[in-house]
Structure 1
Amino acid sequence: MDTGSIAWGVAATALVLFMTPGVAFFYGGLVKAKSVVSMMMMSFGALGLISVLWILYGFSMSTVGSPLDFAGNPFSDFGLTALAGGKDGNTGLLGATYGATFAIITVALISGAIADRAKFGSWMIFSGIWATLAYFPIAAWVWGGGWIMNLGTTLFGKDAGVEVIDYAGGTAVHINAGAAALALALVLGKRIGFQKGITKPHNVPLVLLGASILWFGWFGFNAGAEWLNELHNVGLIVVNTLGATAAAIIGWIVVEKFKDGKATSVGAASGAVAGLVAITPACANLTPGWALLLGVLAGALCAIAVELKFKLGFDDSLDVVGIHLVGGLFGTLYLGFFATSTGLFVGGGFEQLAVQAIAAFTVLIYSFIVAFVVGFAIEKTIGFRIKNEDEIAGVDTSVHGEEGYALVD
């Protein structure tokens, strides 16, 4: 492999790793001032724990020898010893590290649903178990030779030319994290006094900073894997990542203007994230015009979807469900209609939509069940939610003994 491609692989890995601190800033700005440390620590805790687990056994689990396998053998290369000593160790270890950054941010995304009320230790236990039972196997299903990767051939044969399209993580990352977030929101219950308008972002510039870092890092997220393909498709991926995200900002703030009378900066930031989520699975398989349409529709749809928690009565604190689950589902299913050559409206049949839907809803159901069972077990044993008095006093001081802002005379 040429040195330029390897260099891009290193740069893309750093970009995606930087996205998890971006999540921390984005989420941190959205919560109350007395919860900002807790919120950001959940992302940094995931960064530490999932990195270690991925190197120990997660990477080994993310590749299977047969589509019938649930996951790879976690002990097949424990600690990546064999990979490091192999003839392809240089690029192999780089690929493993790039994969780790996806596992990290997927777990970190879930934390937004349980802001202001979760114990840090319980969160870390949940993160490790859920990653092992959900993310690592699902990564194998989608990208590591598993059943989702082979679904089109299984159902329609090789000649149909149809396969599940999830270039960068609509199912494995966003639907996966969004479904788990919904499950944890149900397990932990509502915050004290939960109702529309009760809490406002304590630091709007922090929200915009986090969204900007996410957009910056997302070019590594979407285009990073092109280092393995000698950057053949990188131009299309990059322009779609820009266009869909920009269009989603417009879609969100237009809905916000009609709905609430004002277009807000937090709405623009949330719209950008919604667009990034939606284009993630589709970035390499849409022409730029269809990517723009995807973005504006995703921004509008997610702006409406974030209101569901008030109507349905679940407390998804930072709208992980409304943005990541809804946006991930929309971007994944959109390919069934507009994926280049195989989408229903651009020369294909129903086959693409069928495999997209099967993959999306299977991941949703499986991730939700795993997260609910694990979260419920933690809540009923060591406890997952902090005490009411600690929530009122502030989770930062009660859990971490710190304050986000030290104000002195």
Structure 2
Amino acid sequence: MTYQENIRLAIQSIRSNRLRTLLTALIIAIGLSALVGILTTLDAVKKSMTETFSSMGSNSFTIRNRGTGIRIGGSGQKPKSFTSIKYTDAIRLKDSLPQAIVAVSVTASNGATVKYEKEKTNPNIKVVGIDENGLSSQSLELALGRNFSKTEAGQEQNACIIGHEISNTLFNGDDPIGKIISVGPHRLKVIGVLKLKGSSMGANVDRSVYITLLKGKRINSFADPSYTISISVSDNSHMDNTIGDAIAEFRTIRKLKVTQANNFEIAKSDAVAQTLIENSKYVAWGGIAIGVITLIGASIGLMNIMLVSVTERTREIGVRKAIGANPAVIRKQFLIEAVVICMIGGSIGIFFGLLLGNVISFFMGGTFIIPWMFIIGGFILCVMVGVLSGYYPAKKASKLDPVEALRYE
């Protein structure tokens, strides 16, 4: 008997037991949906994070106060406190690296309210002091107006650049350039509006106000603010040398002895993405565990259904043996039937897993993705589950005595 004939008989048997087949296929589908859905979501988010941080430039890095980076896991101990990076330290380092583009910034407030006439925002506006390179270091583009000049950045200018959401809230589509807004108790003239950026990694540029660095230094609401220094080079091949020069120069500025460790840290533009991607493997293992447990349950259910099927079709098996079917043919027929049921459930599960994963990814800011590796792996897994679940019932069917099987009622 050919494989095509076995498949035809398997489909015929499945049609005659639709309810049991559907229930088993659904169990398999749920298992694969959970597995493929979680892995698809992770893949899509990884791709989105990589693209986002790559757009910031692979030839840039940041110097910030040590201990301010993202911490995932660990012993739960409070991080050690290090000396903040002062304004004078940041400016000295900027002046000592003429071969690179250096941007200095500082957060002046995280909960400011911005007002214009009768309109005002919620008290969740971030105020950031930047220099003339501050926007380019964050890959921010202007929709209207202009950037701070180098001269303006070194002065306490009452000027600002606002995010897209603030512009819409306060001006409702009108041109905000040249208008005077109130940021807390301070009155600032709008000279630029940023393009819509959206939220990324918990930061929303559209709800931010950018002021000159010296203005940010003067109105800062924090007791001990720490400045951030972003450095980029024109050629990625110069990255390591520039990092080495920056570390050596900044150690001198911070008056660190040879035996002392750095009290600042270097973070490349994709460091956050890499940290999150590395830790996402635990979520992936959790998804795999959920999928495998569900598939084990599905395989047990499939085995029971196949055993019931063998009992119900005992007479049919006897007839086939009587007309010349050998044990290998009977065994093959039931194995193929189990695999077909798994493939039906697997197809449904993979489809809904892809759909679910990409919908979640879309709402998390990720991109659409078709993970061919997971799709192929899912189908291979279905075949394995089908073979493992169907082997014992198929073996039992192949060993039935034809005479006894024909007499079975």
**Counting strand residues as a fraction of each chain, which structure ranks higher?**
2
TM-score per shorter chain, which class? under 0.3
Larger Rg: 2
**Counting helix residues as a fraction of each chain, which structure ranks higher?**
1
Q: Which has the higher contact order (CA 8 A, sep 6+)?
A: 2
TM-score (norm 2): 0.20
